[in-house]
């Protein structure tokens, strides 16, 4: 689906990504994590062809991003910017969604159908002005206009930044449903609890290098790697680590292990 | 230090009041976190404290807000800024300069800080936030997180008595977020600066602040020390506030018969609580 082979990228002679190779398969849910300035947003833009690698090769569904127009790649990849205001350009929510549908489809009835479906999925009023909505709502409008066009791959640059918990869960459950239907999701995220709850795979970036790539729980056990990337594992994993409990990430798992230890102690003390 | 009495505010053309009968006292040297969902009124409350409301945004204002015994109604946001430093949610709207160093000098010069003190204040502010190497960088070349640090440095260089920050870590990675909170803690403990911080990351807040105020629909529905507030986890969940997972852990263990004592609000407390349960 997406393949990066020895990819490096520099902005004005400053190396931002260094020799990255990875492959993302259809239907995966991958999180990209790393500190501010580690190259996460650049990697997203390299993957969707907005930026071309300085060296190495990037292919999306077999198409080389250096020789394929961004507009063609955009039919395969939906990209959500970190800041929704960089994306929203119309005066009503309905027009904003229709804008992306007009580019994606030619069949009028298909456009109407997808518009209706998307408005209902997000529970939007088509006539509301996106610029009068809250940041969280604008983020949803930006996401809606992307997924309306039914891309096979979604690349999301910090989709939950600045949102409250309810908005966050609304957006994440929509993304999860799309992933369950087979859409490939690649998401930059600073919230390790969200990464733990939703992503199956994690790419760890530090100073432009891919320092780890693996299954979510395995990556969260790699304390040294996370330290190198200035990250911390989710709260329950950090607590479990203080007791040397391995592979414990959730409240239920920690509850079970603590209760078991209490029982064992009672047995020993008779 | 800050005394809010029966404050209500409705923005001009606003359908509902953004603040609805708020009374809150913040004492000198307190470190208060304000939490609540989007649209709960947190930012509006911060505007009422730094005088942006009623002086900048028109609307219906009832009640009173006093900062260091001055009624915000009788002064200007400019004069108030001598006492209160504000770090806004929208960092770009706060930046006035194009180079990092100039952004910090702007405030210092406008506050008539003596020339021989300026360089020292500039350096210590940049160093405190960990952005000394960015001193000569163009602001538009910085990441969102780096800009957030510049905004905080520019404010702390002015050494205000009260610091009010609206989601200062929203674009920062976990390590940088902790760095900012370590700094706030130091400013609070070492220099006695009163700190009010609006934040969505409750897990982070509960590791640092002493008190919490919870807002919903323009009202303060809960306030007090962190433990008392997080003890109401089910009410908080109802209004969409998700407590730190160690809070859920202490609830879960208690529900299954373990004697956890009170609610655990942060990692250290959870560790101590579990050690007591399984080793003592």
Q: How near does any CA of chain B get to the CA of A178, in Å?
A: 24
Contacts of B244 in chain A (CB under 8 A): 235
- Listed by number, the residues of chain A in 179-238 with a beta carbon closer than 8 Å to a beta carbon of chain B are 190, 192-193, 230-232, 234-236, 238
Considering only the beta carbons, identify the residue of A192, A236, A242 that sits closest to B174: A192
Using the predicted structure, report yes or no on whether residue A174 has a pLDDT greater than 80.
yes
Q: Bigger pLDDT: B9 or A89?
A: B9
Q: What is the mean pLDDT of residues B229-240?
A: 89
CB spacing of B38 vs A163 below 8 angstroms: yes
CB spacing of A193 vs B245 below 8 angstroms: yes
CB spacing of A36 vs B244 below 8 angstroms: no
- Listed by number, the residues of chain A in 19-78 with a beta carbon closer than 8 Å to a beta carbon of chain B are 34-37
At residue B144, the pLDDT reads 73
> Which chain B residue is nearest to residue A228, measuring alpha carbons?
B175
Q: Give me the percent of chain B exceeding a pLDDT of 70.
A: 100
> Which chain A residue is nearest to residue B14, measuring alpha carbons?
A132
Contacts of B268 in chain A (CB under 8 A): none
Contacts of B39 in chain A (CB under 8 A): 134
How far apart (Å, rounded) are the C-alpha atoms in residues B170 and B144?
9
Does B214 reach chain A within 8 Å, measured CB to CB? no
Q: What is the mean pLDDT of residues A163-189?
A: 92
- Range with lowest mean pLDDT among A135-139, A242-246, A254-258, B72-76: A135-139
Q: What is the mean pLDDT of residues A174-193?
A: 94
How far apart (Å, rounded) are the C-alpha atoms in residues B121 and A160?
36
Using the predicted structure, report yes or no on whether residue B46 has a pLDDT greater than 90.
yes
CB spacing of A258 vs B172 below 8 angstroms: no
With contact defined as beta carbons under 8 Å apart, do B218 and B41 qualify? yes
At residue A255, the pLDDT reads 97
Contacts of B37 in chain A (CB under 8 A): 164-167
Burial (CB < 10 A; 0-12, 13-18, 19+), residue A107, is exposed
Which helix (H) or strand (E) segment holds residue B168: the answer is none
CB spacing of A36 vs B172 below 8 angstroms: yes
Q: How near does any CA of chain A get to the CA of B245, in Å?
A: 7
Mean model confidence pLDDT for chain A: 91
CB spacing of B176 vs A35 below 8 angstroms: yes
The two three-digit tokens of residue B115, written as one number: 């020339």
Count of beta carbons in the 10 Å neighbourhood of residue A166: 15
Q: How confident is the model at residue B252 (pLDDT cuts 50, 70, 90)?
A: very high
Using the predicted structure, report yes or no on whether residue A269 has a pLDDT greater than 80.
no
Give the residue among B208, B201, B218, B205 at the shortest CA–CA distance from B4.
Answer: B218
Q: What is the mean pLDDT of residues B119-124?
A: 93
Q: What is the mean pLDDT of residues A215-234?
A: 92
> Which chain A residue is nearest to residue B169, measuring alpha carbons?
A162
Using the predicted structure, report yes or no on whether residue A270 has a pLDDT greater than 70.
no
- Listed by number, the residues of chain B in 81-120 with a beta carbon closer than 8 Å to a beta carbon of chain A are none
Contacts of B252 in chain A (CB under 8 A): 251-252, 255
CB spacing of B175 vs A230 below 8 angstroms: yes
pTM metric for this prediction? 0.86
Using the predicted structure, report yes or no on whether residue A87 has a pLDDT greater than 90.
no
Q: What is the mean pLDDT of residues B247-258?
A: 95
Contacts of B36 in chain A (CB under 8 A): 164
Using the predicted structure, report yes or no on whether residue B91 has a pLDDT greater than 80.
no
Considering only the beta carbons, identify the residue of A134, A231, A259 that sits closest to B256: A259
Q: What is the mean pLDDT of residues B11-30?
A: 92
Q: What is the mean pLDDT of residues B20-38?
A: 94
ipTM, 2 dp: 0.85
Using the predicted structure, report yes or no on whether residue B76 has a pLDDT greater than 70.
yes
Q: How confident is the model at residue A12 (pLDDT cuts 50, 70, 90)?
A: confident
- Listed by number, the residues of chain B in 4-63 with a beta carbon closer than 8 Å to a beta carbon of chain A are 36-39
Q: How near does any CA of chain B get to the CA of A113, in Å?
A: 31
Q: Bigger pLDDT: B38 or A174?
A: A174
Q: How near does any CA of chain B get to the CA of A51, in Å?
A: 17
The alpha helices in chain A, defined as continuous H runs, are: 40-47, 70-76, 93-104, 108-122, 135-148, 165-180, 192-198, 216-220, 223-228, 235-242, 251-269
How far apart (Å, rounded) are the C-alpha atoms in residues A211 and A208?
9
One DSSP character per residue, A189-252 reads -S-HHHHHHH-SEEEEEETTEEEEEEEHHHHHT-HHHHHHTT----HHHHHHHHTT--S--SHH
Give the residue among B176, B130, B138 at the shortest CA–CA distance from B156.
Answer: B130
Contacts of A163 in chain B (CB under 8 A): 38, 200
- Range with lowest mean pLDDT among A230-234, B90-94, B168-172, B238-242: B90-94
The two three-digit tokens of residue A231, written as one number: 């990250």
Q: How confident is the model at residue B194 (pLDDT cuts 50, 70, 90)?
A: very high
pLDDT, tens digit, 9 for 90 and up, residues A25-83: 999 999 999 988 899 999 999 999 999 999 999 999 999 999 999 888 988 999 998 77
């Amino acid at each position: 689906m997406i393949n990066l082979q020895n990819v490096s990228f520099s902005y004005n002679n400053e190396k931002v990504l260094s020799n990255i190779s990875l492959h993302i398969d259809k239907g995966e849910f991958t999180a990209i994590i790393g500190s501010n300035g580690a190259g996460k947003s650049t990697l997203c833009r390299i993957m969707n062809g907005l930026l071309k690698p300085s060296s190495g090769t990037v292919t999306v569904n077999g198409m080389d991003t250096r020789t394929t127009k961004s507009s063609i790649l955009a039919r395969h990849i939906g990209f959500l910017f970190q800041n929704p205001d960089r994306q929203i350009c119309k005066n009503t929510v309905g027009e904003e969604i229709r804008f992306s549908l007009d580019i994606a489809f030619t069949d009028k009835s298909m456009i109407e159908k997808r518009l209706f479906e998307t408005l209902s999925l997000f529970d939007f009023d088509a006539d509301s002005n996106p610029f009068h909505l809250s940041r969280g709502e604008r983020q949803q409008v930006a996401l809606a206009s992307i997924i309306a066009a039914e891309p096979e791959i979604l690349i999301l640059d910090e989709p939950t930044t600045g949102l409250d918990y309810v908005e966050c869960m609304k957006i994440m459950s929509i993304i999860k449903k799309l992933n369950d239907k087979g859409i490939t999701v690649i998401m930059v995220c600073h919230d390790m609890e969200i990464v733990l709850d939703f992503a199956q795979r994690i790419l760890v970036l530090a100073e432009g290098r891919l320092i780890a790539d693996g299954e979510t729980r395995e990556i969260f056990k790699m304390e040294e790697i996370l330290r190198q990337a200035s990250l911390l594992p989710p709260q329950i994993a950090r607590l479990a680590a203080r007791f040397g409990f391995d592979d414990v990430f959730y409240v239920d798992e920690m509850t079970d292990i603590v209760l078991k230890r209490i029982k064992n102690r009672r047995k020993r003390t008779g | 230090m800050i005394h809010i009495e029966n404050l209500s505010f409705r923005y001009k053309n606003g359908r509902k009041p953004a603040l609805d009968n708020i009374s809150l006292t913040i004492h000198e040297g307190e470190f208060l976190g304000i939490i609540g969902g989007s649209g709960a009124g947190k930012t509006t409350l911060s505007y009422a404290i730094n005088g942006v409301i009623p002086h900048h945004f028109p609307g219906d204002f009832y009640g009173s807000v006093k900062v260091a015994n001055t009624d915000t109604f009788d002064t200007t946001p400019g004069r108030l800024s001598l006492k209160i430093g504000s770090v806004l949610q929208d960092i770009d709207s706060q930046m006035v300069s194009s180079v990092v160093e100039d952004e910090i000098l702007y405030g210092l010069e406008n506050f008539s800080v003596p020339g021989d003190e300026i360089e020292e204040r500039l350096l210590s502010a940049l160093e405190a936030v960990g952005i000394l190497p960015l001193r000569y960088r163009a602001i538009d070349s910085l990441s969102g997180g780096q800009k957030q640090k510049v905004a905080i440095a520019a404010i702390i260089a002015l050494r205000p008595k009260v610091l009010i920050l609206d989601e200062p870590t929203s674009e920062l990675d976990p390590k940088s977020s902790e760095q900012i909170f370590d700094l706030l803690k130091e400013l609070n403990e070492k220099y006695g600066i009163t700190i009010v911080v609006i934040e969505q990351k409750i897990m982070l807040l509960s590791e640092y602040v002493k008190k919490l105020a919870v807002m919903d629909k323009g009202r303060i529905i809960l306030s007090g020390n962190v433990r008392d507030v997080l003890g109401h986890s089910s009410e908080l969940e109802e209004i969409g506030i998700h407590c730190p997972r160690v809070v859920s852990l202490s609830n879960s263990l208690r529900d299954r018969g373990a004697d956890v004592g009170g609610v655990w609000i942060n990692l250290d407390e959870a560790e101590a609580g579990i050690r007591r349960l399984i080793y003592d």
